[in-house]
Structure 1
Amino acid sequence: MDWSSLGGQLAQIGLPALGTLLGGPLGGTVGAVVGKGIAAALGVAPTPEAVSQAVAQDPAAAQTKLAEIEAETKRQDAYLADIANARQMQVALVQAHSWTGTTPAILTYLVVGAAIALTFCLFFVSQEIPERIFNLLNQSYGALWLAVGLGVQFWWGSSRTSQQKDQQAAQFSAAVTNAALTSINKR
């Protein structure tokens, strides 16, 4: 027994998306990953036989537990669509030469400049600073360098790898959706 053979069984208990995912054209490719997640949700060994047996023994409980996975998949799709929409909006603003398209760059320059200026002042101004003002400068200093880190992450850091990950997830999600629609249309 392999993971793709579970597709029909899951579709029969009312989980067509998971059934199509395992039984569809991508079943052999993603079956092991998705199957292990299904096995974990059901609390059984990560084998197709154990999952099949758990579903056969108590279809209602399996349906309830696996419906949560299906709902989470739909929430993740909506989240990825929202991120893609935000990126498309940013690109469209820059291409339209809108002043709001350049706002993130301007803010990044201002934050970096303010952090450098405050660092310079704290290290090279030799006057005594009252304790109240020193505490305020200390908090501002930490907040500015945190904002610099966020700016670096936005422009050069995780946003690039996140964008690549989002594209891969969107392609995977589109393939799963297409497989599910194809399966439903065949009925």
Structure 2
Amino acid sequence: MLKADLRREMLARRRSLSATAVEERSDKLREKLFEHFEVRRWKWLHVFLPATHQNEPDTWKIIRWIWAQEFPVQVAVPVVQPDGVSLRHYHLTPATQLANNRWGIPEPVGAPEVLPHQLDAVLVPLLAVDEAGHRVGYGKGFYDRFLADCPQTTRRIGLSLEPPVLRIDDAWPGDVRLQACVTPTQVWQF
């Protein structure tokens, strides 16, 4: 399928989910992530904060689990920059103040910056992923640009409420492939 078709189909599918379904699938994503990855060994984990109006996976479940378990891993989250095309990343703690951006996504205010080279793993938002690790996002390229700045050693892990599709037909070389994708039923390695 083409990215534009997948984007439309998966957005419609996700928007049709009930809040209960998103919550249950998000719980399963958290469980799978901690079962399959040694999160406690990472120093920095980058986590997107959910756009709840888009029924994105509730990554607060992952963040709060890390804080509750007192894992030594630190959490970084993205902030869209005024140029509208780039991200910067900031340390998130239980005490961090948050303000919603223009898309209704919470972002930290006044937190210390975290640079891409510091990150051990990035949890990547997506609408669809294929069996080769190519992803479809919202089409702005934020994460492709960001992931290109991360070291090769940084784990690129997608979070998806749906299983992968067979193939994204119009993936191109500038797309940064994922190394893994966590779904509610299994973890896919690419």
Structure holding more strand per residue = 2
Rg (Cα) greater in structure: 1
Common fold by TM > 0.5: no
Using the size of structure 1 for normalisation, the TM-score is 0.23
Structure holding more helix per residue = 1
Using the size of structure 2 for normalisation, the TM-score is 0.23
